[in-house]
Amino acid sequence: MLKKEDNQLLTETNEDKPLGEVFRQYWIPALTSPEIEADGKPKRVKLLGEDLVAFRDSNGDVGLVDEACPHRGTSLYFGINDGCGLRCMYHGWKFDTEGNCVELPSEEETSNFKNSIKLKSYPTYEINNIIWTYMGPEEKQPPFPDFYWMHLPQENLMIERAWQECNYLQVIENDLDFVHAAFLHKAHGQQSVEEGALSTDLGIDPDHPLVKNPPVKQHVENTNYGKRCIAVGVGNEEENAFMEIHYIFPFYTYPPRFEGEDGMWHAFIPRDDHSTWAWDVQFSHDKPINKEVQHERRGLELDEDFKKLRNMDNEYEQEYQLKKDANMTGIRGIANQDHAATETMGTIVDRSNEHLGTSDKPVIQMRKILMRQVKEHMNGNELLKHDNQTLKDLYSGGLYDDKHKGWEEALPLNPKYKIK
């Protein structure tokens, strides 16, 4: 349970809010590379409550700028992108990717006025077909994070971004929740799962340790990147299944996976306080990933704004008979099931009404570090800094081991992730 004011503190991320300032000190995935072409149509991207426009100039450089023209506010989404800049359709002011005003044709040629005009723009960095941005103060800009999957060949990755119709905190909490899989994602009957994939679109095979029994026994430990959450599940007669989730402060996660399965990385970026950009990278460690299978099992069909075709308005195309025949939700697609669970709470759930139990340990611990970091920031102290030596080898591994072993022995934390 959270007091109403604490719930506000942890869910509000606009520019003038403490958590908004915290989030702006970390790198954010903003859009995928193919969404913008050189001299092509700009793309609207709302991030942390800010209306922004992305465009790729004639040289291929990316600009991420305020949507409102600094002259009188016309939308630059309707601007003309050519000749190395984005020109406002109203009076022709033109801006480069850094927000400099390079032409101001509504003034005398001799005027210096344009030198005083600056369009808000954020730095970008493009890697693995994702364009990232940093929206915080220049002096606080951290090194670009070096996540493990960024070192894999492009064909080993499947990248999806989707508009989720609720606050980011609900989405992260869902990702750290081991137990939900045993209900929300468990298929009633045996599933024929393709190599590497965790599930079919109907759910996870009932014999998979993630869902076989709700792994109620959990442990959460502090690490130099955030939190590691561990659960012990039922494996076979002699062995237990040891699973982990990494929460990398403030909005990145690695959900649980076992050897032989493709990995998964997430980032949950507030679009505004009532919606989230849910980023999903499925990665195969050693071969091209089967995108078709992964896409189908996740089940996200999106429109050009990345909104789901299966959504609250059409009840996620729930088929009541499927609840009896296939899974608890009656909804196809693992990702749709997650979206349904989190969006039906309301866009910002009132946490003063909740009743958390022992299975919610990771959620409680994640909130604690979030709260602690926000308070540190409000007191003028530095935030948690990531070290690329830490990030570059980190992903979730799960394994089977002797059921008499404790998790500390079966799945110990690599000493390099300990807090010094």
- Interaction site with Fe ion (CB under 5 A): 338
**Given its phi and psi angles, is residue 322 left (phi above 0), alpha (psi -120 to 50 degrees) or beta?**
alpha
The option from ligand FES, Fe ion, none interacting with 91 (CB < 5 to 8 A, set by class) reads ligand FES
> Within its chain, how far is the Cα of 95 from the centroid?
30
Instruction: Report how far residue 161's alpha carbon sits from residue 170's, in angstroms, rounded to the nearest whole number.
Output: 17
Q: How far apart are CA 284 and CA 321, in angstroms?
A: 34
Shortest distance in whole angstroms from residue 241 CB to Fe ion: 17
Whole-number Å distance between alpha carbons of 68 and 340: 34
CA dist., res. 37 & res. 307, Å (int): 21
Smallest distance, ligand FES to C-beta of residue 179, A:
52
Is residue 69 close enough to count as binding ligand FES by CB under 6 A? yes
Q: Which of 91, 140, 217, 291 is the binder for ligand FES (CB under 6 A)?
A: 91
In whole angstroms, how far apart are CA 212 and each of 84, 202, 228, 240, 414? 56, 16, 22, 11, 28
Cβ closer to ligand FES: 89 or 216? 89
Q: Judged by CB under 6 A, which of 55, 93, 163, 225 binds ligand FES? A: 93
Neighbours of 379 (CB within 10 A): 7
Q: Which residues contact 74 (CB under 8 A, 6 or more apart)?
A: 68, 88, 89, 90
Rank residues 95 and 251 by Cβ distance to Fe ion and give the closer one.
251
In the bound state with Fe ion, the residue whose beta carbon lies nearer, of 145 and 398, is 398
* Residue 72 binding ligand FES, by CB under 6 A: yes
Query: With CB cut-offs between 5 and 8 Å by kind, which of ligand FES, Fe ion, none does residue 258 bind?
Result: none
Stretch that binds ligand FES, among 67-75, 205-213, 227-235, 333-341 (CB under 6 A): 67-75
Using the Cα atoms of residue 19, residue 149, residue 173 and residue 222 in order, give the sign of their dihedral: negative
182/383 with CB nearer Fe ion: 182
Binding status of residue 74 toward ligand FES by CB under 6 A: yes
Task: Provide, rounded to whole angstroms, the least separation between the CB of residue 126 and ligand FES.
Answer: 27
Q: Which is nearer to ligand FES, 91 or 219 (CB)?
A: 91
118 binds ligand FES (CB under 6 A): no
Site for ligand FES in 21-50 (CB under 6 A): none
Phi and psi angles of residue 116, each rounded to the nearest 5 degrees, phi first: -95, 0
Long-range Cβ contacts of 90-93 (<8 Å, 24+ apart): 93/69, 93/117
Q: Which segment (86-94, 121-129, 161-169, 315-323) binds ligand FES by CB under 6 A? A: 86-94
Whole-angstrom Cα Rg for the chain: 23
Of the pair 106, 222, the CB lying nearest ligand FES is at: 106
Minimum distance from residue 93 beta carbon to ligand FES (Å):
4
Q: Which residues bind ligand FES (CB under 6 A)?
A: 69, 71-72, 74, 88, 90-91, 93
